[in-house]
Structure 1
Amino acid sequence: MTEATNKFYNQEITTDIEYLFSKASSLNDKINSLKSNDDSLWNIIAKKLKVDWTYNSNSIEGSTLTLGETFFFISEGLTVEGKPFKDFLDAKNHVEAIDYLYELVSNKRDINEYVLKEINALLLSGVTYTVAQNSQGEKVKKRLTSGEYKKQSNHVLQTDGTIHWYVDPMNVKDQMEDLITWINDKKNKLHPLYIAAVAHYNLVRIHAFDDGNGRGARILMNLILLKNGFFPVVVRNDKKRMYLDALSKADNGDLIPFIRFISTELIETYEKVINDLTSEK
């Protein structure tokens, strides 16, 4: 790992971040204690989480499905008239990627390049192109290849009007190898929330694939949490502006706001689950 990329991994943890880590760990212990009391209720909560996770993650990327439509489609397999077919395809793919994630955790599989490519392949199954902007700012259809590292540069137009370029294709493999090595090297040395948040950011920073990078980064984050006995975090669409702002600060070398944001979102997810587990039936 070069000195230039090292700054995107190693940060001095502030006191408030340590407190959030401690609170998340405490709430995680409480959930593990409560969920064994009622298996049937826990199964309902797990299904609700899958719907929430799919709805919010896809909405951040532009899906038009409502939470209710997402639930209806996942539960019944039926589409809703007037909504783009791709939104339903994205929902189906996301659920299958979550199922694959739980399979990885159950089988105690290590995180490697193959796993991340497979997650991307699942997220983009049946998707042959993505909509992009050309140099004139016009929307064009860009062919994509799922499960393979990008061969063309990608970028995003930021809210301040500037263009942010992701890692050049020729450097992707090296930087992905650095990311995976770092994740596996730090798994018993740093708090899982720190590893999960930093890994999430770096997969977004690299933007290794033609599409599905944001959804894939959130799945990688939760894969790390689940492998360490934690609950998955749902980044909510109504927090999108805060989420993107924290990512932008991380691009400038300050990952603390992003780690703080992810930790807070996990705590909120925990509190919602605990409320479901303890509310009167």
Structure 2
Amino acid sequence: MGNQVNPGITFSSIEAEMNEAMPELTVKTIKGNKYLYLRDKVKVNSKSLPLSVYVGRLETVAREDVLSKLSVLHTLRLTTYLDYRLEHYSFTTLDRTRAVDLETLRYFYGLFKELYPDESERYMDAMYLRYVQGTTAIEGNTISLREAQELLEHNISPAGKKMDEVYEILNFINLRRYLEGYSGDVTEKLIRKIHEILMNEVLRNPGDYRNIQVGIEQVDYEPPPAILVPEEMRALIGWYRQNKRHLNPFELAVVLHTKFEMIHPFVDGNGRVGRALMNLVLERSGYPTLYLGLEDRAAYLNALVKADDGDYAPIIEALYTIYREQHGRIAEEVRQKLSGGNSRIEEENARLVRQFARLKKEV
């Protein structure tokens, strides 16, 4: 991981080209008149959606007209992306405003990774560090953020800490490595493997479902009896498979996590496994990592327990608010950077100007 704990976004002067094709100028002839268009594509999942912006009649338009239409094209990219996402994903608890906000975040986070790979990698590493320290701190681990960084990056164990606490942090190195090489779907086998990795050297039989009754600390809720855990877990995976293709990924991730926590299938480590599942779904869907700190614990647990009667609105709203505070600036900062110009924009402009000059000569 990188050396920064601060997850602030910075931008280098060298950017990678986007995976999408750059816009092109095309001419359409109608009744002898030539009309100029900017054409492009925006990639959503495996689909490339065509974009077209009318510039004007070729014989009358100027170079400035072409460049001014680029901002229109950039806006069209986003709106086309959002329209497709909102049309193809349902949201049963999220309202439309929040769904749009989350999809906008996903869009600009994708741009951030494509245009600024070095900075985005540092950002993701900083988020992961906060996630690891936070998800263990919520469960009582006393290792600080700085100590967790020293442990994860340099294998320096903090003085005066129990070995269980050290292993709870270090196990996330193996989990990250495992998930990076895992291309399968969410299954019971995966969930048990995540627990096995995270609770290695912490529990006697990591990966095994509980055979005793457990509770959730500081929450007035009693999970189902141990004898029902296998049946409940099969039902959980069935729900996930039924909803993974059409439910908004943020809602899918949060509800999957919440349903898992209500089952509480293991003797210990359920919170860490559930939050790992949630982030697996988010990250595979193109979203950044969601992390929770001690300051979020009370609101998080209070919202979580309200889902006992099937009301997922409180936990979705609570995690949306936290998530928005963590990552909301990505969209605004990338938007501002693009509008202010960078090497990609300058290259795009120069190429279109050259293409425009060639087309004008042909008039």
Query: Normalising TM by the smaller chain, what interval?
Result: 0.7 to 0.9
1:124 matches 2:184: no
Q: Residues 145, 201 of structure 1: CA spacing in aligned structure 2 closer, same or farther, 3 A cutoff?
A: same
Q: What displacement does 1:274 show?
A: 5.8
- Take 2:165 and 2:330, find their aligned partners in 1: how far apart are those partners? 27
Paired residue type of 1:116: I
Shifted more, 169-178 versus 28-37: the winner is 28-37
Q: What is the TM-score of this pair, normalised by structure 2? A: 0.63
Q: Residues 273, 89 of structure 1: CA spacing in aligned structure 2 closer, same or farther, 3 A cutoff?
A: farther
Q: Is contact 2:257–2:274 with CA below 8 Å preserved after alignment?
A: yes
Q: Is contact 1:197–1:259 with CA below 8 Å preserved after alignment?
A: yes
Aligned to 2:171: 93
Q: Is contact 1:187–1:195 with CA below 8 Å preserved after alignment?
A: yes
- Take 1:35 and 1:156, find their aligned partners in 2: how far apart are those partners? 38
- Take 1:59 and 1:246, find their aligned partners in 2: how far apart are those partners? 18
- Take 1:77 and 1:117, find their aligned partners in 2: how far apart are those partners? 26
Q: What displacement does 1:157 show?
A: 4.5
Aligned to 1:57: 135
Q: What displacement does 1:121 show?
A: 0.1
RCO greater where, 1 or 2, for CA within 8 Å and sep 6 or more?
A: 1
- Take 2:240 and 2:135, find their aligned partners in 1: how far apart are those partners? 22
- Take 1:275 and 1:126, find their aligned partners in 2: how far apart are those partners? 43
Aligned positions of 1:243-254 closer than 5 A: 243-254=300-311
Q: Is contact 1:101–1:219 with CA below 8 Å preserved after alignment?
A: no
Paired residue type of 1:47: D
Aligned to 2:234: 177
1:73 matches 2:151: yes
Q: Residues 63, 203 of structure 1: CA spacing in aligned structure 2 closer, same or farther, 3 A cutoff?
A: same
Aligned to 2:280: 223
- Take 1:263 and 1:225, find their aligned partners in 2: how far apart are those partners? 12
1:191 matches 2:248: yes
- Take 2:186 and 2:267, find their aligned partners in 1: how far apart are those partners? 21
Q: Is contact 1:169–1:208 with CA below 8 Å preserved after alignment?
A: yes
Aligned to 1:33: 111
Q: Which ranges of structure 2 fall in alignment gaps of 5 or more residues?
A: 1-90, 338-363
Paired residue type of 1:227: R
1:42 matches 2:120: yes
Q: Residues 272, 236 of structure 1: CA spacing in aligned structure 2 closer, same or farther, 3 A cutoff?
A: farther
Paired residue type of 1:256: A
Q: Residues 113, 192 of structure 1: CA spacing in aligned structure 2 closer, same or farther, 3 A cutoff?
A: same
Percentage identity across paired residues of the two chains: 24
Q: Residues 27, 157 of structure 1: CA spacing in aligned structure 2 closer, same or farther, 3 A cutoff?
A: closer
Shifted more, 252-261 versus 173-182: the winner is 252-261
Aligned to 2:189: 114
- Take 2:293 and 2:218, find their aligned partners in 1: how far apart are those partners? 20
- Take 1:257 and 1:54, find their aligned partners in 2: how far apart are those partners? 24
Paired residue type of 2:247: L
Q: What is the TM-score of this pair, normalised by structure 1? A: 0.81
Aligned positions of 1:146-185 closer than 5 A: 146-158=206-218, 164-185=221-242
Q: Is contact 1:24–1:266 with CA below 8 Å preserved after alignment?
A: no
